[in-house]
Chain A
Amino acid sequence: MLRTILASPKLDKDKLKEYLIRLMYVEMLGHDASFGYIHAVKATTEHDLALKRVAYLATAQFLDEHHDLIILIVNTVQQDLKDDNYLVVCAALTTICRLVNEDTIPAVLPQVTELLNHPKEHVRKKAVMALHRFHRRAPASVEHLHGKFRQMLCDKDPSVMSAALCALYDLIVDDPKPHKNLVPSFVSILKQIVEHRLPKAYDYHRVPAPFLQVKLLKILAALGAADKAASEEMYSVLSTCLKKAENSGNVGNAIVYECVRTASTIYPSAALLEHCAAAVSRFVSSPSNNLKYVGLESLSGIVNVNPAHAAEHQMAVVDCLTDPDESLRKKTLDLMYAMTKSHNVEVIVEKMLAFLADAQDAHLREETVTRIGTLAERYAPSTQWFIETMNEVFAIGGDVVKPRAINNLMRLIGEGSGDDDADASLRADAARAYAELLRKPKLPKALLEVIVWTLGEYGGLLTGKSNLEVMDMLCDAAETQPEARALAAQTMTACAKLAAQATASGGAPGLSEKASRLVERNLNSEDVDKSQRAREIVHLMREDASVVAAALPRDAGGEDVDVDAATTSIEAYVNRARQRGAAEYRTESERARESERARESERARE
């Protein structure tokens, strides 16, 4: 119905506002209202302030910066930025903040820059935020304006200063060095805020400008990180801030939390950290789950600076580990990840594996899997433990494991640690463990890849099973994952290796029944890799035992393959060809020059 109304030529302006709002509703409820976008764009040109404002809002809701219709509003926005009515200017600036993209920045940049000097503080504030947006989208476009941001920091209106803080934070995070000289300014501003020198209207529940305080604390953290001189200028104001914020209710706690984060980021000060540790104790032992969460998060920060603090809260932390609240459990794991060292890695990884088994969110799983991998690599007490852990990880989280982890594990088994006896027993253990695992009906693909490769190389070490039986097991396993192409190819190669080993040690030659059938099926496979392997194997099996052994050497996964760059082995062949008159190789540039010369001589002849 809206569609027909909007399509009619005599659209009532008064009602248009209502219709645009209804369009927004329609979209919010999940239906498509794209027929109405153009009306919103057209309405931005109206003079009626209320209608214009709604039109801008609707446009911002409907479109995003990559939409085609953006070019249509650029002109309107440019006009409106110059309007006498500051409210129109504000509306235009707000829309810029939501819709401008890299291409449209140059169109509005000069005007916005001028607006930094507008008499109305609301306009100045929004102009700063618009420039902030430009910086986020195309930092080069506002490089010349960094000085302006600093100027706006000193604007007499606190809201404008607040906007300047946002912009400066981004600049500082990108590169703190040029802004280190601002540390005294920030310290002074924070001090003034904490001493209630801002107008009362900026108070929130009797706490002066808490969000500004948090922002300033973040900026100070960015400037003080790993910089002793800068940090020393901050200790006093941080202390004051902390003291004033305690016992100020929830908002105060937010400020305390930020103070603790800042204190653990900048160059450490023992006194300040003591103070923070006390605050963190309060959080962790609080009955409120929110405060516990925040306490755990700040503990992660402090623990890196002074591990002793973590010890006091061991009981509370352990309790959180089994809390029914999933967020708390995740936070505790974060903390433990930060605290892992060689002596506690086994316990922590065990807990993480348990968490992984329960976790549903794909992102969480991926993060946990990567973390376990990192911890295992770094702090593993023994290679044996590492392999067992990785097996478990692949079993539980096989769907989100990265290929690199799979390759790492295979390389590890193949390369060994240099001690031949330990290696041999390790590989035998691995082979046995994998053979056991193969009994399970369905394993994740990642794990299967590792198993197939390992058993291919070292299946011969399995006592009690002949190579033929191992081959059969592998083929059965490959069947459980019919879509995994790489797996089938690897299984064939593994079977071939086993066959080679059997022949070399005098056992029964050739592939088992199932293996032969697998190879035959893939002889004419559409997948080039599979068919190539299948054919190679068929030919190889007909060759002499020594050839087979050379082609598929035993236990050579860790050996380097020497590439003879001088190609001496085919030198004789090349010489014979030269004698017969074959042309020498010419590089690409030589060939290009020759064809140029040929073309020029053609043209000359014409």
Chain B
Amino acid sequence: RTAVRRRRTLRPGSKAFEGAKDIRDSRGRASGFGALDLGLNGRGSGRVVVERILGEMTVRFVLLVNKQGQTRLAHYNEIVPKAERRQIEGEMVRKCLTRSDKQCSIVEHRGMKVIYRRYASLFFIVGVDEHENELAVHEFIHCVVETLDRHFGNVCELDIMFHLEKAHYILEEMVMNGQIVETNKSIILGQTVMYDPPPEK
């Protein structure tokens, strides 16, 4: 008879793991930013380190939803099936409504970060990737509102409803490929007015 041999593969708490790199979260990305003892060697490993720490900075969508859950503006930078959009928008609004003013404007939902800001009856909701700078996006929302304000003069929900295409043009100038590209209001608005139809003769 063959001798009995036991495999020993698992040892919780054993020193075997001490050589391992820093703790990775469920997506294999290093939680936090310590890149020091990652033992880089060879070409191309630079990419692995950096990508896992910094990741993509992407704005995934920008939504304007009112308190009743009606979407007033939906600008998606990634492919989301139409059916799912309604669901996401509804969930977002419900989550934002349950939070008090004192609580922070950043929520985690379905694996992405969502930053929202309330202006009277409208919620500005922006969904971003995990590694985006949340405060910067918070300010970006305000920048968008200020730009809309400058264009419409004290913008309100009705303005956006009646001039949906304008609001989109403005957003398209500011965010391209999910990146915040332009925040210079003169440029943004200068471009947007160009697409106005010529005045009636």
Contacts and interface: CB of A to CB of B under 8 A. Distances in A.
Contacts of B20: 378
Given A327-B106, A415-B6, A417-B8, A172 B50 contact: yes
B97 interface: no
A365 to B, nearest CB: 11
B197 interface: yes
Contact of A50 (B47, B82, B86, B195): B195
Contacts of B35: 225-226, 265
B121 interface: no
A163 B181 contact: yes
B136 A210 contact: yes
A408 B10 contact: yes
B47 A159 contact: no
A340 B105 CA distance: 27
A304 B32 contact: yes
A177 B49 CA distance: 12
Interface stretch (A28-36, A427-435, A481-489): A28-36
A132 B104 contact: no
Nearest to B195: A53
Interface residues of B, number: 88
A292 interface: yes
B26 A49 contact: no
Given A290-B104, A305-B36, A412-B12, A173 B54 contact: yes
A540 interface: no
A355 interface: no
A129 B181 CA distance: 9
A382 B50 contact: no
A304 B31 CA distance: 10
A367 B130 CA distance: 13
B150 interface: no
B111 A363 contact: yes
A49 B25 contact: no
Contact of B134 (A173, A293, A374): A293
B54 A328 contact: no
A87 B31 contact: no
Contact of B44 (A24, A61, A175, A325): A175
B145 interface: no
A160 to B, nearest CB: 10
A214 interface: yes
A177 to B, nearest CB: 6
A290 B31 contact: no
Interface residues of A, number: 123
A258 B5 CA distance: 55
A174 B133 CA distance: 20
A559 B143 contact: no
A107 to B, nearest CB: 19
B120 interface: no
Given A201-B186, A265-B53, A361 B108 contact: yes
A90 interface: yes
A556 interface: yes
Identify which of A27, A64, A327, A383 gathers the most chain B CB atoms within 10 Å of its CB.
A327
A301 B54 CA distance: 12
Given A25-B164, A211-B136, A250-B135, A324 B143 contact: no
Given A173-B54, A289-B102, A378-B17, A556 B4 contact: yes
Contact of A411 (B10, B77, B79): B10
A254 B191 CA distance: 28
A175 B10 contact: no
B109 interface: yes
Contacts of B10: 377, 408, 411-412, 415
A251 B146 CA distance: 14
B2 interface: yes
A38 interface: no
A136 interface: yes
A178 B19 CA distance: 30
B5 A560 contact: yes
A268 B50 contact: no
A176 B33 CA distance: 17
Contact of A90 (B2, B22, B191): B191
* Max chain A C-beta neighbours (<10 A), residue from B22, B85, B139: B139
User: Most chain-A CB neighbours within 10 Å: which of B43, B50, B70, B191?
Assistant: B50
A27 B177 contact: no
Contacts of A326: 107
B159 interface: no
Contact of A562 (B2, B85, B111, B135): B2
B57 interface: yes
Nearest to A163: B181
9 contacts: A24-B164, A57-B172, A64-B79, A87-B191, A201-B186, A226-B35, A226-B36, A337-B23, A408-B10
Interface of B: 2, 4-13, 17, 20, 22-26, 31-36, 38, 40, 43-44, 46-47, 49-51, 53-57, 70-74, 77, 79, 82, 85-86, 99, 102-111, 133-136, 138-140, 143, 164-165, 168-169, 172, 176-177, 179-187, 191, 194-197
Interface of A: 17, 21, 24-25, 27-30, 32, 48-50, 53-54, 57, 61, 64-66, 87, 90-91, 94, 97-98, 122, 125-126, 129, 132-133, 136, 158-159, 162-163, 166, 169-170, 172-177, 201-202, 204, 209-211, 214-215, 218, 221-222, 225-226, 250-251, 253-255, 257-258, 261, 264-265, 267-268, 288-290, 292-294, 297, 300-301, 303-305, 324-328, 330, 334, 337-338, 340, 342, 361, 363-364, 366-367, 370-371, 374-383, 386, 408, 411-412, 415-418, 556, 558-560, 562
Given A126-B176, A305-B33, A415-B6, 20 more contacts: A24-B165, A49-B194, A57-B172, A94-B172, A125-B182, A158-B184, A170-B56, A176-B50, A221-B54, A222-B50, A226-B36, A226-B38, A265-B54, A290-B106, A290-B134, A304-B36, A327-B103, A327-B104, A377-B12, A559-B4
The 9 closest A-B pairs by CB, nearest first: A304-B34, A380-B12, A254-B135, A289-B104, A380-B13, A301-B33, A386-B12, A50-B197, A370-B26
